[in-house]
Structure 1
Amino acid sequence: MSQKEFSIVDTTLREGEQFYKSNFSTLDKIEIARQLSDFGVEYIELTSPCASPKSRMDCETIARMGLNSKVLTHIRCTKEDAITAIETGVFGINFFFRLSILKDKTCFEKQISETLENILDVLWFTRKNAPEMEIRFSLEDIFRTPVDRLIKIYEAVGKSGWVDRLGISDTVGIALPSDVEKLVGLLKSLYPKDIEFHGHNDTGCAVANSYAALKAGATHINTSILGIGERNGITSLAGFIARIYSLDIDLIKGKYNLKQFKQLHETIAKRIGIDIPLNHPIVGKAAFMHKAGVHTKSVILNPKSYEIINPSDFDELRTILIAHKLVGWNAVKERANKIGLAFKDDEIKKISLKIKQLSDGKNIELKKVDEILINAYRKE
C-alpha cells in the first residue's frame, strides 16, 4: 500500500478522554464525533463500553449515528469485553494486550504459550460471533519489549486470519523514527497486510514517528485533536495533517474537509477548558504570524518563502506584525496601503524608524502605528 492510502484513526473520544482535564458528556461526544466525520477522518475510536455504564451508552449512541467515519471501540483482549463491544453495534474492535506483564523470565516460554493461546481464543471467538466486524490486535509498549517476544505473538495472530490488521503502540513515547521504521518494516515482511501505529509524545517524537511508520508501510495512524491523551498525549491531528500537507497538498485537500479544521479544534479546546496552544500546527494563534523584517518583506512578495501551508486552505488568516522594534519598512508600507495612505519609500522608512524607537523596550498596539501613519500623512 502506498503512503497515499493511509487512514486516520482519530482517538480523541478514547485516548483524549484520558487527558487530565477531559470529561466529555454524551452530547459533547455526539458533537465531536459528527465534526470528526464531517472533517473526514476514516475512523473514530471510542472508550471501551466496559469502562462504565455511560461509556457503553455512548458507544451505542454514536454507533447508531450513521456517520461517514467508521466507529471503533478499544477493549481488553477478553471474551467478556468482546461480547459487550459486539452488543454496542460498533463497526470494529481494537483489541489491546500488554505483553510486558510477563515478568518472570524463568518461565517465559510457558507464559507466552499460554498467553498466545488465550489471545487466539478471544480472536477466534470474536470472529465467529461477529464475522463482519473489523478487528485489530495491538500490543502495548512494544519498544521496551524484546523483539523475539513481539514476533512470536504478531506472527501467530497475523497467520490466524482472524484480524484485519495489527497495531503497534509506542506507549511511553520512547521510540525514535528509525526504531519505528525498522519495526514496521519487519512486521510488513511477516504480515503483508494493514498495520496501525499509535505513538505517544513524551519525547516530542509522535508526529515524526507516525510519519516514519507511514513511510515503512503502516496504513492506519492514530491521532487526537490537540494531541490530547494520557500524560503528554499522542500524535496531534493537526501535526499529522501538516506533515502530510507539506509533502502532498492535493492529497490532503482531496481526502479531508479542511474548512472544518478550525471549528473542530475550537470545539475540543472549549470542551476541555483550555486555550489552543499558541504554537500548535495550523490552528495555533502564532501559526501564520510573521514578525521579523526579512520575513515580512518576503512573505508580502511571496508567502511561500516562509510558509509551507496556505492558511486560507484551513480558513485561517496570515498576520504581518508591525507594532514592534523588529519591523521592516515593507511591512509598514503594506499597512499604510491597507488603510488607504500612500507614502514615498523614504517617508515610510522614517516612519518605520519612529515605530522601532517607540517600541524598543515597551509594547505598543497596532492602533498606535495607525495613529503614527495618519499623523504623518496629514503633515504632508
Structure 2
Amino acid sequence: MRFFGDYVLIYDTTLRDGTQAEGISLTVEDKLKIARKLDELGIHYIEGGWPGSNPKDMEFFERARKFSWKQARISAFGATRKAGMKAGDDPNIRALLEAETPVVAVVGKSWDLHVTTALKTTLEENLSMIRESVGLLKEHGREVVYDAEHFFDGYKANPAYALETLRAAEGAGADWIVLCDTNGGALPDEVREITNRIRRFIRKPLGIHTHNDGDLAVANSITAVSCGVRMVQGTINGFGERCGNANLCSVIPNLQFKMGYRCLEESSLRHLTEVSRYVSEIANMTPLNSQPFVGTSAFAHKGGIHVSAILKNPRTYEHLDPELVGNSRRVLVSELAGASNINYKAQELGIDISQDGDRTRELIAEIKELEYRGYQFEGAEASLELLLRRGCGQYEEFFTLESLKILVEKRPENGNGGGINSEAMIKLRVGDQIIHTAAEGDGPVNAVDNALRKALEEFYPCLKEMHLVDYKVRVLDGKDGTRANVRVLIESADSTGTWSTVGVSENIIEASWQALTDSMNYFLLRRCRKKD
C-alpha cells in the first residue's frame, strides 16, 4: 500500500490510543464493530490494540484474522524490547508476532530524558533496542510502522540524538517513520521547521502522530502533511488520553477538501458524520454538538441575518457543503430569529406562511417573548413545530385538560424518614368524551405521566410505543430561591427516532405538564401525518 503523490494514508488508532480516554472502555465485540465501520469508510490502517498488554486485545486480533477486510490493514501495537534483553525473548515482541497482523507499530524513545529517566538505560542501548526490535519484526515479514515517541520534545532537547533514533529504525528496515508529539505541546511552526529538517536526512516515508493538549493536534497534523508527511495517525472524534488525539473527522476533510490531498473516496466521506456518531454510540460517549464538520451544530444557523443570507446562497455562512461529510444544514429558532428563520423552519415542516407577513411577525414576537421567559426552542424542536402549527391554525388538540390534582403524601415510619407516595387524578376531554382517572407513580411527574397514559391509551393505543428517554430540569434564576422559574426539557422516543419538548414555569409540575403533553401531542401528530 504505497501510493503517495497527493495521497495521504490514514492510520486510525481509535481502538488503542482512543480507548485511553477517560470514560471509554470497549469490549472485543465493540472493537470489532468499530473496526468494520472504519473499514467500510475506507480507512487504510486500523490499529487494534496492544496484544502484549491484555488478553482482550489478543482476542481482538484472533477474531480479526477471520474477517475479510475490504480496505484496511490491521495493525498491532507494541514497544521496543526491554533493556538488556534479546528482542526474540521479549514477551511484548513475541505478542506482536503472535497477533499475526500484516502491520505492526512499534514505539521507541527519541527523547534522551525518557531514555535515562523512564527507561533508566543508556542512549546507546536505546538505539540497539530500536534496531533489534524493528529488525526482528521485518525478518518475520511485517510492515513496520516505527512511532518515534516524544519526537518533537526530544528534537528540541537534543536534535542529534533524536535524529539518530530515527536513523536506527530506518536502518533496521522500518517502512514508516512516524514523528510523535506525544505531550501535545508542539506549535505548528515548530512542526513545520522540524519536519522539514528531518526530511533532509530520512528517506523512508514519514508519518505524524499528534496529541491535542495545546488544542493544535489537527493543525499540527495538516502542517506536517504540507511538509511532505504521507501518513496521519489519529482517532475518530479525537478520542484519546488527556485532551485527546488528532481528530480524523477534522483532519480528513481539511486535507481533502481544503488542501487537495486524497485520503478517502469522496463517496465514502459522505458517511463521515454517520461513522462519527456510530463510534460515539458504541463508546457510550455523548457526541459533541460543536465538533467541526460532523457535529449537529456544525452547520446550524441561529442569527436572523445569517439565515437570510444562506437562503440566498449557503456559501455566505458555510465553509463547506454539509452533504460532502454526510451532515445537514439546520436553522434554529430563538430570540435571535428573524422572518427568514421562521419561514425556513415552517417550509422545512411543510407549513406555508411565506405569504402571511403579519402572521410571521406575530410568531416572531411570540417566540421572542417565550424565550425571554425561559423557553429554549433550539433544543426542543417538537414544541416549536406545535407552536408554529397552532399559530397558523393548522393543528387541532388531541385532548384538553379539564382538571388535574396531585397528592404527595409522606408517611414517617418508626421515627425515620419513611416513604413518599404520589398520586395524580386527571380529567381530560377527548372529542366529546370526558375521561376521569387516577394513577400512582414514583414521584409526581411520573404519576401524571401514568395517569395521562391510562386516560389516553383507550383512544390512542399507539401511545404505548413511545417512552421517555431523558428528563432535565434547570433553574433559570437561582436568586429567586424556591420561587425561581424552572425549564423542563423532555426527550422522548419511539422506534423511528427521538424528539424534544420544553416547558417553563415557577411550578415544576406545570413546566413538566407542558413538556409532557407537548411530547404526546407531537407523537400523535406524527402518527396522523403518516396515516395521511
Q: Common fold, TM-score beyond 0.5?
A: yes
Tell me which of 36, 39, 42 is aligned to 1:37.
39
Structure 2 partner of 1:62:
64
Question: Would you say the 8 A contact 1:116–1:153 is kept in 2?
Answer: yes
1:34 Cα deviation after fit = 0.6
TM-score by length of 1: 0.88
More strand by share: 2
State how far apart, in whole Å, the 1-side matches of 2:80 and 2:129 are. Answer: 9
2:271 aligns to what SS in structure 1? helix
> Contact (CA 8 Å) 1:246, 1:308: kept in 2 or not?
no
Aligned counterpart for 1:141 among listed residues 135, 150, 167: 150
Alpha-carbon offset, residue 196 of structure 1:
1.2
Contact 1:177 1:205 in 2 (8 A): yes
Distance 1:3 1:240, change over 3 A: farther
Deviations 1:157-208 (A, max 9, x none): 32x1511111111111100011111121111111133111110111111100
Structure 2 partner of 1:360: 372
1 or 2 for the larger relative contact order (CA 8 Å, sep ≥6)? 1
Q: Deviations over 1:87-114 (max 9, x none)?
A: 222011111012432337xxx9x92222
1:26 corresponds in structure 2 to 28
Distance (Å, rounded) in 2 between the aligned partners of 1:89 and 1:256: 32
Question: Within 5 Å, which residues of 2 pair with 1:228-307?
Answer: 228-247=239-258, 251=262, 254=265, 257-307=268-318
Q: Return the alpha-carbon distance in structure 2 between the equivalents of residues 283 and 250 of structure 1.
A: 20
What residue is the counterpart of 2:467 in the other structure? none
- In the superposition, relative to structure 1, how do residues 367 and 118 fare at CA in structure 2: closer, same or farther (>3 Å)? closer
Deviations for 1:250-307, whole angstroms, at most 9, x for unmatched residues?
A: 9466356124323322332222222101111222221121000111111111112111
Aligned to 1:331: 341
Q: Counterpart of 1:180?
A: 191
Amino acid at match of 1:16: G
Compare the two structures and name the one with the higher helix fraction. 1
Partner in structure 1 of residue 76 of structure 2: 73
Q: Which amino acid aligns with 2:247?
A: S
Whichever residue aligns with residue 333 of structure 1, its letter is N
One-letter amino acid of the structure 1 residue matched with residue 300 of structure 2: M
Aligned counterparts, 1:316-327, within 5 A: 316-322=327-333, 324-327=334-337
Deviation sequence 1:45-76 (CA, Å, 0-9, x none): 12111111221121222234221201111111
Report the 3-state secondary structure (helix = DSSP H, G, I; strand = E; otherwise coil) of the residue aligned with 1:214: helix
Distance in structure 2 (CA, Å) of the matches to 1:231 and 1:265: 20
Aligned to 1:138, the other structure's residue is in SS state strand
Aligned partners of 2:109 and 2:126 also within 8 Å? no
Correspondence for 2:16 among 14, 19, 23: 14
Query: Runs of at least 4 residues of structure 1 off by over 4 A?
Result: 248-253, 344-347
Deviates more, 1:145-154 or 1:309-318: 309-318
Larger CA deviation: 295-304 vs 244-253: 244-253
| Identical positions, percent | 23
Cα shift at 1:227: 0.9
Q: Which amino acid in structure 1 is aligned with residue 248 of structure 2?
A: L
Which runs of 5 or more residues in structure 1 are unaligned?
A: none
Equivalent of residue 210 in structure 1, options 215, 221, 237: 221
Q: Give the stretch that moved more between structures: 212-221 or 185-194.
A: 185-194
Partners of 2:55 and 2:371 in 1: CA distance? 58
Whether the 8 Å CA contact 1:59–1:90 is kept in 2: the answer is yes
The one-letter amino acid of 1:75's match is: G
Which residue in 2 is equivalent to 1:103?
116
* Alpha carbons of structure 1 residues 277 and 3: separation in structure 2 relative to 1, 3 Å: farther
1-side partners of 2:189 and 2:151: how far apart? 14
Displacement, 1:340?
2.4
191-200 or 6-15, which deviates more: 191-200
Q: Which moved more, 1:175-184 or 1:368-377?
A: 368-377
Question: 1: distance between equivalents of 2:310 and 2:209?
Answer: 36
Cα distance in 2, alignment partners of residues 286 and 3 from structure 1: 35
Match of 2:210 in 1: 199
3-state SS of paired residue (2:116) = coil
SS of aligned partner of 1:190: coil
Moved more, 112-121 or 331-340: 331-340
Counterparts in 2 of 1:253 and 1:292: CA distance versus 1, 3 Å: farther
Q: Measure how far apart 1:122 and its partner are.
A: 2.1
Query: Take 2:353 and 2:264, find their aligned partners in 1: how far apart are those partners?
Result: 38
Q: What SS does the aligned partner of 1:8 have? A: strand
Partner Cα separation in structure 2 for residue 72 and residue 88 of structure 1: 9
Residue 152 of structure 1 corresponds to: 164
* CA separation of 1:245 and 1:374: change in aligned 2, threshold 3 A: farther
Distance 2:185 2:344 in 1: 47
